[in-house]
Amino acid sequence: MLGPTVLVLLGLSLYPTLYNLYQSFRATELIGPAKWAGLDNYTKLFHDHRFWASAQLTGKFMVVTVAGTVLLGLALAAALDRGSERFRRIVLPIVVIPMAMSPIVVGLIFKFLYNDAVGPINYYVGLLGPHLDNSFLARTDTAIWAVAVVDIWQWTPFAVLVFLAGLQSLPRGPLEAARIDGASGFGTFWWVMLPMIRTELIVVILLRTLDSFRVFDVVYATTRGGPGTASETLSIYLQRVAFNFLDFGYAGAMSIFLILIATLLARPLAKLLQLAAT
Amino acid sequence: MSSRLRSRIAQLSANATIAIYLLAVLLPLAWMALASLKTREQVAQLPPLLRFTPTLDNYREVFRESDFPRYFMNSVIVATSSTIVSVLLGFMAAYAFVRLRRKRNDGLLFWILTMRMVPPLAVLVPFFNMMSTLGLYDTRFGLALVYVTFNLPIATWLLLGYIEKIPKSVEEAAMTDGCSRLAAMRAIVLPLAAPGLFATAVICLLLSWNEFAFALNLTGENAKTLPVFLTAWDTQRGINWGPMTASALMVVTPVIVCAAIFQKWLVRGLTFGATK
């Protein structure tokens, strides 16, 4: 009975990896047949500034979005945990909305909000003081951070709901004890509750890290990697190499590299999930 | 300051934090909804026009200028067919894992999870090549097939958690009464796992409905799904905000309703069962 699943997964997962591997050793030209290229694509990868720039950008994006999501998630989950059950039942269905939406829709809405002619963000910033000529998404120095804000908006609910579930399942005994001993609200949260929800904390950090690593949709919807290459993440660059430059050999080498990193990142997560599930 | 007053202040500031957050969630959505009901001139007005006669012109334009119903059907068909296949195969695989093996096969599960973690772009060229060779490029069948690859690992993993909770004894009792294993699975395990199957299906539907990277590169005009269609409003000459927001709203409304109803399952599914 495991048969069909293993077969499907084998066919559909082993095949891409092997195909990528095969392509990565070939030089694909736009005209003429592909030639054997040895390790050329891999040496190219190591000397490709654009690739390393996009790797660096993705790294920064991962750090900022994961940190933002986790910190906001913690603060909001703690606040919700204090509220009444009735209050939560009204609020949670609203909180969940952003994470259920397609990142494409979220990206397009924010492109609208950021727009320099019709969007409210530049308008209200302008009222407060500095006049802005361009959308935050259209400036080389701010584009990636403007996208990071969108990503944090979309995924904070995820952190909130996971942390809240963790907080709600805590035994009330130690919390009472801390309060009676005179701990402050924040002290109790930081020293007693946080260590007790560390599994939830690690699950959120790992899952968000992996998803940020492969971020594509929201960047495509807001900036498409632009202006220039200012917000070009690894996935966006790979998309360009493969489907705009049609350099399948080089794309293969890049894909192998990304699959390797994702597998390394997924290892601790798989271990943790296995523990959490048993 | 009395401790009661202090806890009262803490409670109030907690509620204020939540209220501000709810505004941050709802304002962008309200902005989109209002824009979809405005004329082109009204959309461009700042400060925002709050009192206006709503018009459905943008919605009419979506249906007049595009094949919206077809893209909608494409999304529905691809999402449901890949979900049904994934949940069925996933159920069988999860059942086999739980009942037919003495100890948990960690290697296989790790592999299943890793598949979920690989960036879609890193497997797109191989899939593109496969679909072109098999003549499945730009077909709903081809796209649904690819969606099974990311739905099946999740479905298997999630269903595992549900099936593990079904006591073995119920099934064994049926089998000593003369039921075959297959019959016992159908008559006993399947109904008991029904909530799990349903919850898993919701997750698979949501992920397929929102999927973009594969749909963008593996479909042309024929099998185009809604997220890809939405990006088509973003042209070189700018975006026509009215129809864009109108169609975006039609794409997310079903999802938002589902999410609000199935909120608990959603979190469970998206954390791979790490939250109970």
At residue B106, the pLDDT reads 63
| Cβ atoms within 10 Å, residue A171 | 8
B26 contact A CB<8A:
yes
Please report the residues numbered 72 through 91 in chain B whose beta carbons come closer than 8 angstroms to any beta carbon of chain A: 89-90
Q: Please give the Cα distance from B50 to B34 (Å, whole number).
A: 8
Q: Per the omega criterion (within 30 degrees of 0), is the bond before A120 cis? A: no
Q: Poorest-confidence range of A16-30, A99-113, A191-205, B221-235? A: A16-30
Chain A residues inside the 8 Å CB shell of B244: 108, 112
The ipTM is: 0.89
**What is each CA distance from B253 to A20, A99, A111, B29, B46, in whole angstroms?**
38, 13, 19, 11, 26
Q: Per the omega criterion (within 30 degrees of 0), is the bond before B120 cis? A: no
Measured between CA atoms, the residue of chain B closest to residue A124 is B47
Tens-place pLDDT, residues B109-133? 677 677 777 889 999 989 998 899 9
Tens-place pLDDT, residues B261-274? 887 777 777 777 76
At residue A31, the pLDDT reads 60
At residue B103, the pLDDT reads 58
Span B237-249, mean pLDDT?
90
Contact A89/A224 with Cβ under 8 angstroms? no
B202 contact A CB<8A:
no
Measured between CA atoms, the residue of chain B closest to residue A271 is B110
| Cβ atoms within 10 Å, residue A86 | 8
Binary contact (A252, B123; C-beta < 8 A): no
Binary contact (A4, B119; C-beta < 8 A): no
Q: CA dihedral in degrees (A104, A109, A110, A116; nearest 10)?
A: 130
Closest by CA position to B124, among listed A123, A122, A248 = A248
At residue B212, the pLDDT reads 95
Q: Please give the Cα distance from B177 to A91 (Å, whole number).
A: 50
A232 contact B CB<8A:
no
Kindly report the three-state secondary structure assignment for every residue of B156-188.
Answer: HHHHHHHHHCCCHHHHHHHHHCCCCHHHHHHHH
Could you tell me the two tokens for B235?
Answer: 């042209």
Chain A residues inside the 8 Å CB shell of B95: 1
Binary contact (A105, B90; C-beta < 8 A): no
Contact B242/B45 with Cβ under 8 angstroms? no
Tens-place pLDDT, residues B129-171? 889 999 999 999 999 999 998 888 888 888 888 888 888 887 7
Query: Is pLDDT of A30 > 70?
Result: no
- Among B93, B126, B161, select the one facing A2 at the smallest CB separation: B93
Kindly report the three-state secondary structure assignment for every residue of B70-132.
Answer: HHHHHHHHHHHHHHHHHHHHHHHHHHHHHHHCCCCCHHHHHHHHHHHHCCHHHHHHHHHHHHH
**pLDDT-based confidence at A75, cuts 50/70/90?**
very high
**Which residue in B45, B99, B118 has the most chain A C-beta atoms within 10 A of its own C-beta, making it the best mutation to test that interface?**
B118
A74 contact B CB<8A:
no
Query: Is pLDDT of A276 > 80?
Result: no
Q: Average pLDDT over chain A, rounded to whole?
A: 86
At residue B2, the pLDDT reads 66
Binary contact (B113, A266; C-beta < 8 A): yes
Measured between CA atoms, the residue of chain A closest to residue B7 is A185
At residue B276, the pLDDT reads 58
Which is more confident, A126 or B211? Answer: B211
B255 contact A CB<8A:
yes
Chain B residues inside the 8 Å CB shell of A5: 89-90, 92-93, 152, 156
Closest by CA position to B259, among listed A5, A99, A79, A44 = A99
Q: Please give the Cα distance from A259 to B123 (Å, whole number).
A: 9
* Interface size, chain A vs chain B, as Cβ–Cβ contacts under 8 Å: 296
How do strand A26-27 and strand B238-239 relate by DSSP bridges? unpaired
- Among A118, A161, A266, select the one facing B43 at the smallest CB separation: A118
B28 contact A CB<8A:
yes
Query: Is pLDDT of A101 > 90?
Result: yes
Tens-place pLDDT, residues B64-122? 988 999 999 999 999 999 999 999 999 988 888 887 765 555 666 677 677 777 889 99
